[in-house]
Amino acid sequence: MKVSVKTPATIANLGAGFDSLGLAIPIYNIVSVEETVLPGSGIEINIINEKNNNENDFRDIPVDKNNIVYKAIELLYNFLGQTPNELKITIKTQIPISRGLGSSSSVIVGGLIAANELLGHPADEKVLMSVATEIEGHPDNITPAFVGGVTVSSWEEDGSVIYRKLPWNDEWKLMVCVPDFELNTEISRSVLPKEVPMKDAVYNLKRTAMFIDALYTKDEELLKLALKDKLHQPYREKLIPGLSDIMNNLKHINGVIGTVLCGAGPSVLVVYNGIGASEIKESVTNTWNYFNVKANFMNLPIEKQGAMKIV
Ligand code: HSE
């Protein structure tokens, strides 16, 4: 038996909601898991690059038991008192790697749902989310990959993940600007301070609360305020050439509601009201050109559906 699961890319943080908010976008990785028929064939892992992603991006991804999809599946089996012996895992990737778009969350979630199906559904969503977050570390990516849409989530001390899905005003569009360089999440977290000034924590706290109200009331002016951040982006600016210029320049473009870093970066998300797409692209292209960075642009809606089984 073979089970394939298609899981969307995600954008975490969304400005003020560091490690809490996230949303899904319609680009996908597909993970297939099958029990191999021949005993003794062990674990086989194949990665197929489906979207002309740079082949070099894949060079460091292990295809043995150190692969994160395998590790997640192994943790699930162990949780159920079992050990995976003969498994073939195929990972088809469309989501750019190390660009802040949740490519690892997507394959972890896909692998776990597929393996759970192979095992006959022993684990519920709560268990799968908690196993996925233990491997990946960021519920703000795992949750929207799992359930789609916009989410607020919390990884609790007992390992469980609590989340709520939030509404989205479909008049608000997303322009995802993906630069041609990678940024490793660990490096991007290493520049964050261990402690932050109380006034910065309060700055984000009220904006995260207002983000949620802005979504429920479709209040564009409130969303403008809510997309600002002082807890992570200011520290990460030095890792992303041109980021502060991009953010400053886009403030003057009609239609732009806010500009935030996608997760740990380096991609940039522009939330806008449908006006100004070409000005946004032009402005970001010009700024990054100055820093010798090339970019891809994806003009996307929110993906409302999360990981789904495909045939
Ligand atoms: N919230 C996490 C971060 C997301 O910003 O580091 C990592 O993908």
Segment 243-298, tens digit of pLDDT: 999 999 999 999 999 999 999 999 999 999 999 999 999 999 999 999 999 999 99
**Once rounded to an integer, what is the mean pLDDT over residues 193-203?**
98
Kindly report the protein residue whose alpha carbon is nearest to atom 5 of ligand 1: 264
* C-beta of 140 in contact with ligand 1 (< 6 A): yes
* C-beta of 99 in contact with ligand 1 (< 6 A): no
Kindly report the protein residue whose alpha carbon is nearest to atom 1 of ligand 1: 19
Are 100 and 131 a contacting pair, CB within 8 Å?
no
Angle at 140 between CA 50 and CA 104, to 5 degrees: 30
Kindly report the protein residue whose alpha carbon is nearest to atom 3 of ligand 1: 264
Domain ranges, ordered by start, for the chain? 2-166+302-310, 173-300
Structure confidence by residue, pLDDT tens digits, 153-171: 999 999 999 999 999 999 9
Query: Cβ-count burial of 103 within 10 angstroms (0-12 exposed, 13-18 middle, 19+ buried)?
Result: buried
Tell me the CA–centroid distance for residue 37 and ligand 1, in Å.
Answer: 39
Residue 56 pLDDT? 63
Phi-psi region of 292 (alpha: psi -120 to 50; beta: other; left: phi over 0): left
Helices and strands, number each (H, E), in the chain = 10, 11
Dist. CA 135–CA 122, nearest whole Å: 19
Tell me the CA–centroid distance for residue 272 and ligand 1, in Å.
Answer: 22
Which is higher by pLDDT, 8 or 36?
8
Residue whose token pair is 């082949």: 55
Q: How far is CA 98 from CA 56, 121, 188, in A?
A: 12, 31, 11
Residue 41 pLDDT? 72
CATH H-level superfamily of 173-300:
GHMP kinase, C-terminal domain (3.30.70.890)
The structural architecture, per CATH, of the domain 2-166+302-310 is 2-Layer Sandwich (3.30)
* C-beta of 12 in contact with ligand 1 (< 6 A): yes
Worst-scoring range by mean pLDDT, 40-44, 121-125, 235-239? Answer: 40-44
Residue 116 pLDDT? 96
Are 276 and 258 a contacting pair, CB within 8 Å?
no
**Once rounded to an integer, what is the mean pLDDT over residues 136-156?**
97
Q: Is 2-166+302-310's fold the same as 173-300's?
A: no
Are 310 and 4 a contacting pair, CB within 8 Å?
yes
Tell me the CA–centroid distance for residue 232 and ligand 1, in Å.
Answer: 9
Residue 205 pLDDT? 98
Q: Is the pLDDT of residue 53 over 70?
A: no
Q: What is the position in ligand 1's atom list of the atom closest to the CA of 102?
A: 8
Dist. CA 95–CA 291, nearest whole Å: 24
Which helix (H) or strand (E) segment is 258 a member of? strand 256-261
Dist. CA 306–CA 203, nearest whole Å: 31
Tell me the CA–centroid distance for residue 67 and ligand 1, in Å.
Answer: 20
Radius of gyration for the alpha carbons in the chain, expressed in angstroms and rounded: 19
Tell me the CA–centroid distance for residue 74 and ligand 1, in Å.
Answer: 24
Dist. CA 103–CA 145, nearest whole Å: 10
Q: What is the position in ligand 1's atom list of the atom closest to the CA of 188?
A: 6
3-state secondary structure of 210: helix
